[in-house]
Amino acid sequence: MLNQLHVQPQASLALEVKNLDVSLNDGTAIVSDISFTVLAGQILALVGESGSGKTTIATALLAHTRHGARIVHGEVNVAGLNVLRLDQEALRQVRGKQVSYVPQNPSTALNPLITIRSHLADVLRSHEPGLDVAQQQASIVNALKEVELPHEDAFLHRYPHQLSGGQQQRVLLALSFITRPSVIVLDEPTTALDVTTQAKVLLTVKKLCQHYGVAAVYVSHDLAVVKKIADHVIVLYGGRIAEKASATALFSRPLHPYSQGLINAIPDIHLHTIPVPIIGNAPSLQSRGAGCVFEPRCKRAKLECKTSMPALEPLSAREDHAVACINLPAHAPQLKIIRSTGPASSRVLVLGSQQPLLEVKHLSASFDGKQVLKDISFHLKKGECLALVGESGSGKTTISRAIAGLNAQALGSLYFNGQALALAARGRSAAFSHQIQYIFQNPYQSLNPRQTVRQTLLNTVRHYFPSKLKDSHEVVAAALKRVALDPRIADSFPKELSGGELQRVSIARALVCEPSLLICDEITSALDVSVQAAILELIKSLQRNGLAIIFVTHNLGIVRSISDRVLVLKHGRIVESGEVDTLLDQPRQPYTKELINDSPSIVDI
């Protein structure tokens, strides 16, 4: 429908942000001196690591802040109206009507107790009370058509839990666009989606923005996605703008060293290389000094960078490209992506004819009476990394959980080091149970919030190797050092650590079990690109030391970076398998080709 419509010919100013400052109640700055504009129909991306200020700015566009923070200065003008000066009743009318918000997690944003029709009707009753029943129904049907969802009664009477993640996200888009807002704010809306669903959602967003002249602010840590969808990009670091430019300029000639570092940290399906993490960690709110916030991590920093706060300066009066750096090169060349190694074949362990560590034969599984895995067979050798890829619902996690003994409905045969392995974890001997370890996607949910890092690690050691407890301090320190964490965090609780640190703790907990096989289930999907690159670097080092790895992901850039072989799954079956470079460069099955074509990339091919 939308591809037959035309973009509005005249682009007017839809959003203007002037000198926005947001602070904690004690005066500690969260974001400072934020200014930008977005034209109608354009998409501006906000990128940067966790703590850079992306979500703080995004929510401030709706005159909202997190608990304990406040907007202390600035303007947010939407279609000429400064939303920061409105009272609560006026704000209630503006939110959803003039400015819409699409959150990251649709399953928590949608009310589980009401139907899809009720969600859409409630928005219309709030912001379009003059519509009669027929007009309301027409608006609902049109909104669902625009986001390519069914619009018949059977679908409208479904509840959110009866929809897939991609369908739930499309419902949120329908809710956001149904009032024809001037501005839409999208906060990591595709993080948990597979590449095919993500590609469709991104295309829908782009078309709707262009057709209706809606200005979008798109928050993301995935720069490959940003390159695909954004017209302009703002790179944030330490609550300030480090660089802002058109997407074309930023990805071809990034000037700030932080922008260059972010791009070099991206795993890319079209690059036969390993991502490079940015050294050091992003600063906390309290540790930002008087000078350049990026100075402690910058390879070209000078003494004056410690004391001088760089201003955001345009490159020229004619160029929409500004950088906050006092040490820019006189003539910045085109971007050269710096990566570690050559093709995958040069970094794969020589596995030779060694016997498989793990053999899976004729594995099947059911859920609620429906068969979700069908005759899955494969093997894995010591030191090998096998990637499981496919759309949501393809069976990736079901296979992983069956190997870990966590799927009660699984049937088939498993062999580990040539010996039969029970399908249920309770049926496995202690000698087997510690050798296969599972790392879950969300470390916030997999770690006990009431236990310190030390307690978490020692409880695991106590279960498998109680004799090691006499050297408990050394065991904990060694485990944390192995995953590049400072042993001083041992007495921290999970809430005191970042997402990347928590995921490293999860890996450390698995490694103290002295496993032979590590199962990683989407362990980098919610991480910043630099943290993600550091985790991938850690995984590769573990593999080089002989650890076998099953890596579940929907990110084919990661697959290219760390995997030796790939299994492509669809509807519970293996549709294609092979060595990583051969499969990604010369796919045979149409489904594999579709996954590859839908994968975002920073490389123009």
Confidence of residue 287 (pLDDT cuts 50, 70, 90): confident
Tens digit of each residue's pLDDT (9 = 90 or more) over 4-41: 444 444 579 999 999 999 999 999 999 999 999 999 99
Is the pLDDT assigned to residue 47 strictly greater than 50?
Answer: yes
Parallel, antiparallel, or unpaired: how do β-strands 215-219 and 183-187 relate? parallel
Asked whether residue 412 carries a pLDDT value surpassing 80, the answer given is yes
Mean pLDDT of 325-349: 59
* Burial zone of 281 (CB within 10 Å; 0-12 exposed, 13-18 middle, 19+ buried): middle
CA dist., res. 401 & res. 434, Å (int):
15
492 pLDDT above the threshold of 90:
yes
pLDDT at position 245, please?
Answer: 96
Identify which of 160, 213, 215, 221 has the alpha carbon closest to the alpha carbon of residue 187: 221
Q: Long-range CB contacts (< 8 A, 24+ apart) of 367-370?
A: 367/398, 367/409
Mean pLDDT of the chain: 89
Q: Which two tokens stand for residue 56?
A: 């703080």
Give the pLDDT of residue 453.
Answer: 95
**Exposed/middle/buried for 16, CB within 10 Å: 0-12, 13-18, 19+?**
middle
The pLDDT score that the predictor gives to residue 1 is: 45
Using the predicted structure, report yes or no on whether residue 192 has a pLDDT greater than 80: no
Q: What is the pLDDT of residue 597?
A: 93
599 pLDDT higher than 90: yes
Please check whether residue 585 is in contact with residue 212, taking contact to mean a CB–CB distance below 8 angstroms: no
Q: pLDDT confidence of 136, banded at 50, 70, 90?
A: very high
Contact 100, 176 (CB under 8 A): yes
Structure tokens at 70: 């406040």
pLDDT value at residue 109: 87
Read off the pLDDT of each residue in 364-393 and give the average, rounded to a whole number.
91
Task: Report which of 252, 269, 270 is spatially closest to residue 260, judged by C-alpha positions.
Answer: 252
Place of tokens 């030191």: 383
Domains in the chain with CATH codes: 2-230 (3.40.50.300), 254-340 (no CATH), 378-435+516-598 (3.40.50.300), 443-514 (no CATH)
CA distance 566 to 293: 41
What pLDDT does 526 receive? 73
Q: What is the mean pLDDT of residues 233-243?
A: 96
State the pLDDT confidence band at 282, using cuts at 50, 70 and 90.
confident
State which amino acid sits at residue 521. D
Task: Specify the pLDDT at position 4.
Answer: 42
- Residue 385 and residue 344: Cα distance in Å, rounded? 12
Give me the pLDDT at residue 577, please. 96
183 pLDDT tier (thresholds 50, 70, 90): very high
First to last CA, the chain: 28
Does 351 have pLDDT greater than 60? no
Helix (H) or strand (E) holding 320, with range, is: strand 319-323
| Region class of 412: left (phi > 0), else alpha (psi between -120 and 50), else beta | left
pLDDT, mean of residues 324-348: 61
- Model pLDDT, residue 198: 87
The predicted pLDDT at position 330 comes to: 64
Q: How many CA atoms lie within 13 A of 256 on its CB side?
A: 31
Residue 121: predicted pLDDT: 95
pLDDT at residue 355, as a whole number: 87
Which range is least confidently modeled, 288-297, 337-346, 570-579?
Answer: 337-346
Query: What six digits make up the tokens of 508?
Result: 């450390």
The kind and range of the H/E element at 198 are helix 195-212
CA dihedral 60, 602, 566, 596 (to 10 degrees): 90
| The predicted structure's pLDDT at residue 349 | 47
> What does residue 215 show for φ and ψ, rounded to 5 degrees?
-85, 130
Residue 333 confidence (pLDDT) above 70: no
* Three-state secondary structure readout of 224-252: HHHHHHCCEEEEEECCEEEEEEEHHHHHH
Mean per-residue pLDDT for 332-352?
52
pLDDT at 334: 61
CA dihedral of residues 126, 129, 133, 139 (deg, nearest 10): -70
Q: Give the bridge partners for 47, in sequence order.
A: 235
416 close to 357: Cβ distance less than 8 angstroms:
yes
Least confident of 358-367, 493-502, 595-604: 493-502
> How many percent of the chain have pLDDT more than 70?
94
pLDDT at position 353 is 62
Q: In this predicted structure, which of 338-342, 450-454, 539-543, 556-560 has the lowest mean pLDDT?
A: 338-342
Model confidence at 527: pLDDT above 50: yes
Pick from 182-186, 255-259, 433-437, 522-526: least confident: 522-526
* Number of Cβ within a 10 Å radius of residue 199: 20
Cβ of 567: how many Cβ atoms within 10 Å? 23
Does pLDDT of 365 surpass 60? yes
DSSP 6-34: ---SS--EEEEEEEEEEEETTS-EEEEEE
Q: What is the pTM of this model?
A: 0.87
Q: What is the pLDDT of residue 524?
A: 86
What's the burial of 161, exposed, middle or buried (CB within 10 Å: 0-12/13-18/19+)?
exposed
Phi-psi region of 68 (alpha: psi -120 to 50; beta: other; left: phi over 0): left
Question: Looking at residue 486, what is its pLDDT?
Answer: 87
Q: How far is CA 511 from the centre of its chain?
A: 25
